[in-house]
Amino acid sequence: MTETASTEIEKAAFREAVKTGGATLFGIGAWGLVVGVAMIKAGLTVPQALGMTFLVFAGSAQLASLPLIAAHAPAWVIFLTALVVNLRFVIFSAILAPHFSYLPWRQRAWLGYLSGDVSVGLFIYRYPEPGYDPRKLPYLKGLLLPNWTSWQVGSVIGILLGSQVPANWGLGFAGTLAILCIMLPLVMNKAALVGVVVAGAIALATIHMPYKLGLLISVLAGMAVAMAVEEWLEKRHASSTGKEQA
How does pLDDT run across 85-117, given as a tens digit for each residue?
888 788 888 888 889 989 998 999 899 889 888
| Res 18 pLDDT > 80 | yes
What is the rounded CA–CA span in Å between residue 218 and residue 199?
4
Which DSSP category does 187 fall into?
A: -
Global pTM reads 0.66
Residue 192: exposure state from Cβ atoms within 10 A (0-12, 13-18, ≥19): middle
Residue 176: exposure state from Cβ atoms within 10 A (0-12, 13-18, ≥19): middle
Q: State residue 77's pLDDT score.
A: 86
More confident residue, 5 or 229: 229
Q: Are 35 and 175 in contact (CB under 8 A)?
A: yes
Going by pLDDT thresholds of 50, 70 and 90, the confidence category of residue 177 is low
- Cα torsion 59, 62, 64, 67: sign: negative
Contacts of 49 (CB under 8 A, 6+ apart): 36, 39, 40, 159, 162
Angle (nearest 5°) at CA 29 between 27 and 32? 110
What is the rounded CA–CA span in Å between residue 121 and residue 20?
12
Q: State residue 149's pLDDT score.
A: 94
Report how far Cα 65 is from the mean position of its chain's Cα atoms.
16
Contacts of 201 (CB under 8 A, 6+ apart): 218
Q: Are 154 and 28 in contact (CB under 8 A)?
A: yes
Contacts of 119 (CB under 8 A, 6+ apart): 21, 140, 143, 144, 147
Rounded to 10 deg, the angle between the 136-161 and 46-55 helix axes is 170
Q: Are 33 and 158 in contact (CB under 8 A)?
A: yes
| Res 143 pLDDT > 90 | yes
